[in-house]
Amino acid sequence: MRLSYKQDAFDAPRLAAWVDALHSQGQDVQAEWSRDGQPAPQEQATAFALRLGGRKVFEQLRRACTFYLADAESSAQHPVLASARTAGVFVPPRFGSAFVCLGIYALAQAWALAVFPEAFLRLLVPSYAFLGVGHYLWFSRCDKGQAEPRLPPLLMVMPAIILSAPSSLLNIPVFGKYNHLYWWRRAGQPAVAGIARKQGAAA
């Protein structure tokens, strides 16, 4: 699983301070600095990668950042996320562009209500209500850092997504922001809470 977002700038001193903080915590991390695909000194780098136990867990190319979250719930990788949040490397989601897409979708659906046959509207209008509830559940659970929303919100949004395709694809950016919000909140929670929750769900 990947989580991608953008920083305001490539801040090498901040990244280096993050690596130092991880080392002080006893984390087995390795920093890789590069420029145009070639190793470079920190002062000249435009790209950065962080490896945990030999596995890449984060990279930044100019402003574009990516966390690789395969082991994010584990006791090993959770401190990396938590430390990244504290260091300002992991930033909270910005919903602006996603909400613009959602607004365009709403306008498209308002136009659809004016031109589509009444028989189709009987299916479409109820699906909008389920879509709204699905958005609410998805956001509220992610905002609390609860277990990733899976079936209930997905079932609620799918009717409107299918019936209003392809314009419904404009919902995808905000779903991505919900996922970002989930990991941002989880990074601020104790690791033991996340692991205990996961073990409880498995039981």
Which ranges in 8-95 belong to alpha helices (H)?
12-24, 78-87
The percent of residues in the chain predicted with pLDDT above 70, rounded, is: 88
Question: What are the pLDDT digits (tens) for 155-183?
Answer: 999 999 998 899 999 999 999 999 999 99
- Confidence band for 194, pLDDT divided at 50, 70 and 90: very low
118-143 and 96-115 helices, crossing angle to 10°: 160
Tell me, yes or no, if the pTM score tops 0.85. Answer: no
Residue type, 186: R
How high is the pLDDT of residue 115? 83
User: What SS3 class is residue 186?
Assistant: helix
The predicted model gives 150-157 an average pLDDT of: 85
